[in-house]
Structure 1
Amino acid sequence: MIKNIIPALRLTIVCLIFFVGVYSAIIWSIAQFAPGKGKSETVTQNGKTYYPNVGQAFTQDQYFWTRPSAVDYNAAGAGGSNKGPSNPDYLKDVENRIDNFIKHNPTVAKADIPSEMVTASGSGLDPHISVQGAKIQIDRIAKVRNIQQDKLNAIIIQNTEKPLLGLFGTEKINVLKLNLALDNLK
């Protein structure tokens, strides 16, 4: 029995040293090359600091709307609704979101609304929408802010993030960065 315990204790000590010390030091070192040095990316504008990697609530007509959140954009309680696509409560929530979207964007047909504009992400904190999700909101924002649609198209193009290495993922737009750029328009 002691024959088995001694090697097990040695392996436990080696694993503790490696995973607590060496592995943590390697990950920390790699994080120093990331934006924010591993402490998250931040954007500061007008004296306020924002976290663009966490979804934010934008529901005013003067801004591009973000994706709905099942957790009310609370980063401490990230998660989805856990309701399946055939759940009557879920379907009612989505229908209400569609009706609200059309009410505020009367020039948009129901069939043209991208799914991310009316369904929450799995984490409830997704900060991105698709390019189409941004473009269908142009009419509303142009009217409210009295801005030419060409200017809004230009900031959408400037804030479009391309797929990783041009292969992985789709084009997307960080809504916070897009709205901050919108506020900077003169």
Structure 2
Amino acid sequence: MLSVNDFSKAIRATLILWLITAIIYPLFILIFGQIFLPYQANGSLIKDNQNNIIGSSLIGQSFQSDRYFWSRPSVINYSTGEDGGETGVSGASNLAPSNPDLVKNIEAEITKLKQVGITPTADLVYTSGSGLDPHISIQSAQNQIERIAIARNLDPNQLRELIKSHTEGRFLGIFGEPRINTLKLNIELDEFSKEIGY
């Protein structure tokens, strides 16, 4: 049977743990992030020259124009609703490999890519688990060079150099594959086109 002393200890322990986990620790993380990692702590936001937010390097965007590198498909349209607003959702289709709808979606993506002269790759055909993936593989970017070079009247070698300069290595040198952030690459592509007058 609990004594008054035991009951008092339990209440004090609960209050102390609540103070540590609900106030002290979150406050420490907030201050640490703002001082030492402000870019990451505030959402890794990418801004233009007028300080307007273009997007986040952590969340992909849909690109449909021939003038841009296309991202991988997203079941949730990168958390953008039909009205263009942010929905804040993340997710995949959850369709099983045996589901005819999944096969239909994949075939539609392959057809779309082939119609514009892009050799399909896995990440340009399959959606990601989160629907927010901002990266494509190096091969996927290289397969789009010819289309963009024609649309922007650029030398394909200039695009290859852009891809090379925006290639991110494996995490900690061992995890994942080299990849390219599509949003960052397309922003740089626009800047490069402006510099040379296209």
TM-score w.r.t. the length of structure 2 is: 0.84
Counterpart position of 1:49: 53
Q: How does 1:71-82 map to 2 (within 5 A)?
A: 71-74=76-79, 76-82=88-94
Specify the alignment match of 2:69 in structure 1: 64
Partner of 1:17: 19
Question: 1:65, 1:31 → 2: CA distance?
Answer: 32
Q: Please list the CA deviations of residues 80-126 of structure 1 after superposition, one character each: whole Å capped at 9, or x if unmatched.
A: 111122221111111101110111125x3xxxx22111111111111
Q: Distance in 2 between matches of 1:20 and 1:183?
A: 45
Aligned to 2:98: 86
Deviation string for 1:133-176 (max 9, x for gaps)? 10111111111111111000000001111112322221110000
Percent of aligned pairs with the same residue? 38
- In structure 1, what residue type is equivalent to 2:153? N
Structure 2 residue runs without a partner (length 5+): 80-86
**Equivalent-residue separation in structure 2 for 1:86 and 1:6 (angstroms):** 59
* Separation in structure 2 between the aligned mates of residue 119 and residue 82 of structure 1, nearest angstrom: 12
What's the secondary structure of 1:97's corresponding residue?
Answer: helix
- Which residue does 2:163 correspond to in 1? 156
Call closer, same or farther: CA 1:114–1:35 in 2, change over 3 Å. Answer: farther
Moved more, 20-29 or 95-104: 20-29
Larger relative contact order, structure 1 or 2 (CA cutoff 8 Å, min sep 6): 1
SS at match of 2:66: coil
Q: What residue in structure 1 maps to residue 117 of structure 2?
A: 105
Q: How far apart are the structure 2 equivalents of 1:152 and 1:35?
A: 31
Cα distance change on mapping 1:91 and 1:8 into 2, 3 Å: farther
For 2:30, the equivalent position in structure 1 comes to: 28
How far 1:35 moved relative to its partner? Answer: 4.4
Distance 1:124 1:159 in 2: 22
Post-superposition offset of 1:70: 1.1
Distance in 2 (alpha carbons) for counterparts of 1:163 and 1:2: 55
Cα RMSD for the two superposed structures: 1.8
Structure 1 segments unaligned to the other structure (5+ residues): none
- How far residue 46 of structure 1 moved from its aligned partner, in angstroms, is 5.1
Between the aligned partners of 1:88 and 1:5, the Cα distance in structure 2 is 60
* Offset at residue 37 of structure 1 (A): 5.8
State yes or no: 1:138 paired with 2:163: no
Give the alignment partner of residue 168 of structure 1, picking from 167, 170, 175. 175
